[in-house]
Chains A and B, each alone.
Chain A
Amino acid sequence: SQELEQSPQSLIVQEGKNLTINCTSSKTLYGLYWYKQKYGEGLIFLMMLQKGGEEKSHEKITAKLDEKKQQSSLHITASQPSHAGIYLCGADSVSYSGAGSYQLTFGKGTKLSVIP
């Protein structure tokens, strides 16, 4: 089964600083999702990457998928207290080209704290 390793496990940054969270897969990623979770709540979809070398941005958050499709990074520019939470990467177990279960496997998450 696919395993996803996230690093770091936790991160404390000063407001205004940039930061990067990494997600590494043991297998080729067919679809890589980034989610944010506030404590005790559900997951909010941020972005999905599918092609090698793909990069997407939403407000101050940028996600990239490497060419080999085994590593993704999430970069936050000029962090704010509203960015605090747990960031999780998730990956599909099969490609979209065929029938499959479309189950998501998740990393264990990166807890981000932003100090004002």
Chain B
Amino acid sequence: DVKVTQSSRYLVKRTGEKVFLECVQDMDHENMFWYRQDPGLGLRLIYFSYDVKMKEKGDIPEGYSVSREKKERFSLILESASTNQTSMYLCALLPRVGANYGYTFGSGTRLTVV
């Protein structure tokens, strides 16, 4: 089974800091996604990527950017962290398109911006 690893489970950053959230897969799949999860709002898609150096905006890209220099790593960047970016961030991967293949999620990074 494919494994998706998010480097930090908990992170505390100051307002204005540049923050990097890392997501690494242990195989060679193309489709990777970044979501944030907030109470009452559910999961919302920030950015996704189909391949190296390819990225697409999701529903809420403002204040974020991404980097995919190698296929196995998809990074989410908060250019200047703000308190409204305090959230649970989830990285996901689509191993294969088609029936019975679910998206695989990382264990999440709970980010607090103070």
Binding site for B on A (CB under 8 A): 1, 31, 33, 35, 40-48, 50, 88, 90, 96, 101-109
- Does B103 lie within 8 Å of A33, measured CB to CB? yes
Instruction: Please tell me which stretch of B12-20, B37-45, B69-77, B79-87 contacts chain A, meaning at least 4 of its Cβ atoms lie within 8 angstroms of it.
Output: B37-45
Among B87-110, those with CB < 8 Å from A are 88, 90, 92, 94, 97-108, 110
Once bound together, how far apart are the Cα atoms of A109 and B38, in whole Å?
Answer: 11
- Does A42 lie within 8 Å of B106, measured CB to CB? yes
For B108, list chain A residues within 8 Å (CB). 40-42
Given A96-B99, A104-B33, list of 6 further CB < 8 A pairs?
Answer: A1-B59, A42-B6, A103-B45, A103-B48, A104-B92, A108-B42
Q: Which residue, A43, A48, A101, A107, has most C-beta atoms of chain B within 10 A? A: A43
Question: Does B61 interact with chain A (Cβ within 8 Å)?
Answer: no
Chain B's interface: helix, strand, loop or mixed, by majority?
A: strand
In the complex, what's the smallest C-beta–C-beta distance from B7 to chain A, in angstroms?
13
For B25, list chain A residues within 8 Å (CB). none
For A96, list chain B residues within 8 Å (CB). 97-99
Once bound together, how far apart are the Cα atoms of A45 and B4, in whole Å?
Answer: 13
CB-CB nearest in chain A for B33 = A103
Once bound together, how far apart are the Cα atoms of A17 and B92, in whole Å?
Answer: 33
Question: Does B28 interact with chain A (Cβ within 8 Å)?
Answer: no
Once bound together, how far apart are the Cα atoms of A33 and B99, in whole Å?
Answer: 10
- Does A88 lie within 8 Å of B97, measured CB to CB? no
- Does B103 lie within 8 Å of A45, measured CB to CB? yes
Contact partner of A90 among B88, B99, B103, CB < 8 A?
Answer: B103
What are 11 residue pairs bridging A and B, where the CB atoms are less than 8 Å apart in the complex? A33-B103, A41-B108, A42-B4, A45-B102, A45-B103, A45-B104, A50-B99, A96-B98, A102-B97, A103-B33, A107-B42
- Does A42 lie within 8 Å of B107, measured CB to CB? yes
- Does B41 lie within 8 Å of A104, measured CB to CB? no
In the complex, what's the smallest C-beta–C-beta distance from A46 to chain B, in angstroms?
8
Once bound together, how far apart are the Cα atoms of A88 and B33, in whole Å?
Answer: 17
